[in-house]
């Protein structure tokens, strides 16, 4: 009896799924893929942010020592500090990213734009999709960084920085972060660091989809839906894309937490005027190696993250019965 009821329920669910439009199914597939991938690597993501922003006590630590430090200061849940904001952001971000990629790609092919029908289409559609997703969800990324930047220290409310002593504000959650950012600088405060994010996401997102689709193109048709194919293709796509754009990610993170960092000698927080000023200042004052701070963690993180993301996305597309799209042909 129980088995019969379970089969009926499953059939009802699939009947409901079949009534959904393809775009809605793509949004669901992308959202689930993003949430699973982000949560799987949350501990490494937090360590990367602490190293990128030169958080006090973490500047000279390696990966294993940083993990131990977070465990000591914040306990096991400390590895997931800010992950709530990250998941809340990544669900709409990934959903929009994957969905708009499909939309832009189909639009380019249908309108016969002078881009051919090969991998360049994936590059352009991926870049446009990445920019769209960033613009729609950036304030939540800001909140995630500010929350992850905080390290509990019950023994002292003041911290010693490279240039003096400063008070580190303890945010209670996403709402307070966004509220204070808005009070400080209005709408611009919610988009602090958007410049390097967009400059970085356009080539990264484009390269990610380009490389992924290009690798898939060399896989026999009968293996197109194989998990063993999605994992390595997604991993290589993320690895190459992130390496080329990583310094911009460092600038973005430092811009996002500027108001939480130590005061300069004149009693003010350092402010990067723009992306290129940030790159130049970091190289001049912190050394060029800082532009790649946390890159080793990123390699450890990005491979499973992108691989899991593409794999879950393709699996969800199959489960939701999204019809396969036309494969790009080499230009």
What single string gives the DSSP state of each residue in 11-23? Answer: HHHHHHHHHS-HH
The pLDDT value recorded for residue 132 is: 92
Taking the C-alpha atoms of residue 222 and residue 213, their distance in angstroms, rounded to an integer, is 16
Selection from 198, 203, 162 nearest residue 287 by Cα:
162
What mean pLDDT, rounded, does the chain reach? 76
Residue 154's pLDDT band, with cuts at 50, 70 and 90, is: very low
Share of the chain above pLDDT 70, in %: 77
Interhelix angle for 295-319 vs 42-52, to 10°?
140
Q: In the predicted model, is pLDDT for residue 158 greater than 80?
A: no
Local structure of residue 106 (DSSP, 8 states): H
> Do the Cβ atoms of 103 and 23 come closer than 8 Å?
yes
Q: In the predicted model, is pLDDT for residue 141 greater than 70?
A: yes
Q: Name the residue with higher pLDDT: 311 or 17.
A: 311
pTM here is 0.62
The pLDDT value recorded for residue 216 is: 74
* Terminal C-alpha separation, the chain: 56
Residue 99 β-bridge partners: none
Interhelix angle for 83-110 vs 42-52, to 10°?
100
Distances 254 to 55, 257, 275, 291 between C-alpha atoms, Å? 10, 5, 11, 11
> Do the Cβ atoms of 91 and 31 come closer than 8 Å?
yes
* Residues 6 or more apart whose Cβ sits within 8 Å of residue 7: none
- Calculate the CA dihedral of residues 147, 284, 56, 265 and round it to 10 degrees: -100
> Do the Cβ atoms of 141 and 241 come closer than 8 Å?
no
> Do the Cβ atoms of 17 and 25 come closer than 8 Å?
yes
Residue 166 β-bridge partners: 159
Q: Name the residue with higher pLDDT: 34 or 203.
A: 34
Residue 153's pLDDT band, with cuts at 50, 70 and 90, is: low
Local structure of residue 273 (DSSP, 8 states): S
**Tens digit of pLDDT for each residue in 271-282?**
777 788 888 888
Mean pLDDT across 129-154: 81
Pairing type for strands 164-167 and 158-161 reads antiparallel
Residue 155's pLDDT band, with cuts at 50, 70 and 90, is: very low
The upper half-sphere exposure of residue 52, i.e. CA atoms within 13 Å in the direction of its Cβ, equals 31
Mean pLDDT across 304-314: 82
Among 56-60, 92-96, 213-217, the range with the most confident prediction by mean pLDDT is 92-96
Q: Name the residue with higher pLDDT: 40 or 200.
A: 40
Mean pLDDT across 36-55: 80
Q: In the predicted model, is pLDDT for residue 163 greater than 50?
A: no
The pLDDT value recorded for residue 145 is: 82
The pLDDT value recorded for residue 7 is: 63
Q: In the predicted model, is pLDDT for residue 328 greater than 50?
A: no
Selection from 31, 36, 144, 32 nearest residue 84 by Cα:
144
- Two structure tokens written together for 311: 């794999």
Max distance between CA atoms of the chain, in angstroms, equals: 76
Taken in order of first residue, the domains within the chain and their CATH numbers are: 22-153+176-263+271-320 (1.50.40.10)
**Tens digit of pLDDT for each residue in 194-223?**
888 888 777 777 777 777 777 777 777 766
The residue whose two tokens read 């501990």 is 43
Q: In the predicted model, is pLDDT for residue 255 greater than 50?
A: yes
- Two structure tokens written together for 76: 């096991």
Q: In the predicted model, is pLDDT for residue 311 greater than 80?
A: yes
Q: Name the residue with higher pLDDT: 60 or 19.
A: 19
The pLDDT value recorded for residue 171 is: 75
Burial of 217 (0-12, 13-18, 19+ CB in 10 A): middle
């Amino acid at each position: 009896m129980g088995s019969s009821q379970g089969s009926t329920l499953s059939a009802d669910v699939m009947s409901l799924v079949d009534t959904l439009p393809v775009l809605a199914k793509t949004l669901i597939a992308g959202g689930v893929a993003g949430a699973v991938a982000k949560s799987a690597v949350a501990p490494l993501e937090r360590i990367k942010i602490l190293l990128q922003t030169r958080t006090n006590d973490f500047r000279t630590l390696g990966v294993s020592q940083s993990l131990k430090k977070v465990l000591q200061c914040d306990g096991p849940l400390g590895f997931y500090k800010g992950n709530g904001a990250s998941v809340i952001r990544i669900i709409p971000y990934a959903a929009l990213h994957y969905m708009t990629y499909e939309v832009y790609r189909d639009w380019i092919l249908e309108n016969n734009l002078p881009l051919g029908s090969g991998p360049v289409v994936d590059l352009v559609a991926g870049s446009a999709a990445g920019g769209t997703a960033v613009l729609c969800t950036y304030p939540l990324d800001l909140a995630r960084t500010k929350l992850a930047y905080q390290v509990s220290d019950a023994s002292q409310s003041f911290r010693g920085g490279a240039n003096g002593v400063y008070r580190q504000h303890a945010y209670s959650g996403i709402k307070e972060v966004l509220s204070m950012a808005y009070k400080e600088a209005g709408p611009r405060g919610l988009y602090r660091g958007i410049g390097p994010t967009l400059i970085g996401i356009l080539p990264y997102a484009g390269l990610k989809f380009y490389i992924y689709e290009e690798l898939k193109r060399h896989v026999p048709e009968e293996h197109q839906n194989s998990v063993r194919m999605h994992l390595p293709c997604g991993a290589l796509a993320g690895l190459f894309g992130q390496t080329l754009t990583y310094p911009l990610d460092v600038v973005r993170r430092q811009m996002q937490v500027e108001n939480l960092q130590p005061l300069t000698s004149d009693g003010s927080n350092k402010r990067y005027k723009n992306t290129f000023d940030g790159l130049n200042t970091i190289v001049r004052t912190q050394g060029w190696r800082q532009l790649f701070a946390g890159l080793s963690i990123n390699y450890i993180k990005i491979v499973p993250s992108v691989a899991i993301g593409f794999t879950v996305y393709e699996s969800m597309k199959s489960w939701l019965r999204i019809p396969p799209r036309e494969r790009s042909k080499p230009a």
